[in-house]
């Protein structure tokens, strides 16, 4: 059973370095130092004991990594250690449609985010993998951590970026309004768990972490549960005016799905092609709107800004959504591996509600309209890895 731990660490890299220096040094011959400063080897009995302890640990790691697998289909790499250079890019594409918005009519908006690149390195011992990733551009960040086994896995992916380009097209206004860089920002969070039912023959780590080698083609039915969060933030007053003062739209969803993953290898694992598609249904849907709206007193000529927050009911109790993965792995030889992988999530939400209606005593909120809106986001990332095993 393969196991994976991966974390991108922005401030505590020194602890990761210390951890792996300790692990690596423990594999080397041990020295003792005499008071005069000259190094001398431990006596033969101590060396044999240390060597036996390390060999037992390696045997345990090999057994643990290959537990409950069919060796006709899966195998461990020849070498236990692996150092890898890694590059990652990600982006998001969002569409936002509103029907019948007062003064603007039907509004059609399309946003394309900045591509957020990262570079870094991983070091792994069997299926324990720890890495450090650095964002190339300040202000855009990706974060990921995961535990991946043959039978189950749990991953967290977070991205924060702004939109680089796009447009807003309103039927009551002539022409399109271009979206400038950083006018709108997006934060997404995905926490995904899966079960693979053919874990003895099919391996997700073989495709995405290269901690196993898929020697023979195999597939598996997979069950997924997803928690999704997306926050669309308007940084420009003009866009907030078009949406009645909104500056944040936050979506919370829980989705369930069953799909299929397949690892294809034509040459006993030297080249591996993976694809998995998971149709999903969101069973919990919540939209939280935050904004500023003008209010006034009927008997006074004073205006005030009111910060409001409201939960908006979905138009339907369920939404069809999903995710997909793909990977290409080239085990060049026993020592070198090259891999390209990607993942794509889909978020969608449709609402039909009377957004705000406050009319008590002499206090009136000046925004009250039936609204029909649809929001959809495609969020993706891709990784390129070159690893050296030893």
Rounded CA-CA distance 294/280 in Å is: 40
Q: Are strands 271-297 and 319-331 parallel, antiparallel or unpaired?
A: antiparallel
Q: What is the pLDDT of residues 26-78, one digit of tens each?
A: 444 443 344 444 445 556 766 777 777 877 777 777 777 777 889 999 998 98
In this predicted structure, the answer to whether residue 120 has a pLDDT above a threshold of 90 is no
Q: What is the pLDDT of residues 277-331, one digit of tens each?
A: 999 999 999 888 787 765 444 445 555 556 667 777 788 888 999 999 999 999 9
% of residues, the chain, pLDDT over 70: 73
Q: What is the pLDDT of residues 244-260, one digit of tens each?
A: 567 788 899 999 999 99
Q: Where are the domains of the chain?
A: 5-389
pTM of the model: 0.76
Rounded CA-CA distance 318/322 in Å is: 13
Q: Which CATH code fits 5-389? A: 2.40.128.100
Compute the mean pLDDT over every residue in the chain, rounded to the nearest whole number: 77
In this predicted structure, the answer to whether residue 379 has a pLDDT above a threshold of 70 is yes
Q: Using the structure block, give the residue that is written with the tokens 């967290």.
A: 156
If pLDDT is split at 50, 70 and 90, which confidence band does 102 have?
Answer: low
């Amino acid at each position: 059973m393969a196991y994976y731990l991966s974390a991108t660490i922005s401030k505590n890299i020194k602890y990761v370095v210390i951890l792996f220096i300790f692990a690596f040094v423990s594999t080397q011959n041990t020295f003792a130092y005499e008071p005069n400063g000259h190094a001398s080897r431990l006596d033969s009995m101590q060396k044999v004991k240390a060597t036996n302890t390390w060999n037992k640990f390696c045997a345990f790691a090999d057994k643990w990594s290959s537990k409950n697998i069919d060796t006709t289909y899966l195998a461990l790499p020849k070498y236990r250690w692996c150092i890898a250079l890694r590059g990652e890019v990600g982006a998001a594409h969002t569409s936002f449609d509103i029907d019948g918005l007062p003064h603007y009519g039907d509004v059609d908006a399309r946003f394309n985010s900045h591509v957020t690149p990262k570079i870094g390195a991983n070091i792994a011992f069997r299926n324990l993998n720890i890495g450090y990733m650095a964002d190339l551009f300040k202000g855009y960040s990706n974060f990921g951590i995961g535990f991946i086994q043959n039978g189950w896995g749990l991953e967290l992916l977070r991205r924060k970026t702004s939109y680089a380009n796009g447009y807003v097209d309103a039927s009551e206004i002539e022409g399109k309004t271009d979206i400038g860089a950083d006018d709108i920002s997006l934060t997404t969070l995905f926490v995904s768990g899966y079960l693979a039912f053919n874990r003895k023959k099919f391996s997700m780590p073989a495709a995405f972490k290269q901690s196993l080698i898929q020697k023979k083609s195999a597939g598996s039915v997979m069950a997924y549960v997803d928690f999704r969060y997306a926050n669309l933030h308007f940084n420009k007053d003009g866009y907030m005016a078009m949406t009645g003062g909104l500056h944040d739209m936050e979506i919370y969803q829980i989705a369930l799905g069953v799909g299929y993953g397949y690892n294809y290898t034509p040459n006993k694992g030297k080249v591996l092609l993976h694809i998995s598609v998971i149709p999903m249904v969101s069973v919990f849907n919540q939209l939280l709107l935050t904004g500023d709206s003008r209010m006034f007193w009927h008997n006074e000529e004073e205006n005030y800004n009111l910060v409001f927050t409201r939960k908006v009911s979905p138009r339907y109790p369920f939404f069809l959504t999903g995710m997909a993965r793909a990977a290409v792995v080239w085990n060049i030889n026993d020592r070198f591996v090259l891999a390209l992988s990607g993942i794509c999530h889909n978020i969608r939400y449709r609402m039909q509600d009377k957004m705000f209606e406050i009319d008590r005593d002499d206090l009136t909120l000046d925004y009250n309209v039936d609204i029909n809106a649809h929001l959809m986001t495609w969020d993706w990332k891709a990784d390129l890895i070159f690893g050296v095993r030893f």
